[in-house]
Amino acid sequence: MRFDFVNGEMLLIDKPLEWTSFDVVNHLRGFLRKVYDLKKLKVGHAGTLDPLATGLLIICTGKFTKKIDEYQGMDKSYVGSMHFGATTPSYDKETGIDREFDVSDISEEDILGAAKGFVGEIDQIPPIYSAVKVDGKRAFDYARNNKELKLKPRKVTISNFDIINIDLPSINFAIDCSKGTYIRSLARDFGEVLGKGAFLTELRRTRIGELKVSDAYSLEGFKKAVLDRLA
Q: What residues are labeled active site?
A: 50
Contact 219, 24 (CB under 8 A): yes
The alpha-helical segments, DSSP class H, found in 66-107 are 68-72
Distance (Å, rounded) from C-alpha 226 to C-alpha 228?
A: 5
Distance (Å, rounded) from C-alpha 84 to C-alpha 78?
A: 18
94 closest CA partner among 140, 163, 133: 140
Q: 53-61 and 198-208 as β-strands: parallel, antiparallel, unpaired? A: parallel
Q: Is 193 exposed, middle or buried (0-12, 13-18, 19+ CB in 10 A)?
A: middle
Distance (Å, rounded) from C-alpha 102 to C-alpha 50?
A: 29
- In our burial notation (b when 16+ CB lie closer than 10 A, e otherwise), range 125-157 reads ebbbbbebeeeeeebbebbeeeeeeebeeeebe
The rounded Cα 3 to chain-centroid distance in angstroms is 27
Side-chain half-sphere exposure of 114, counting CA atoms within 13 A: 23
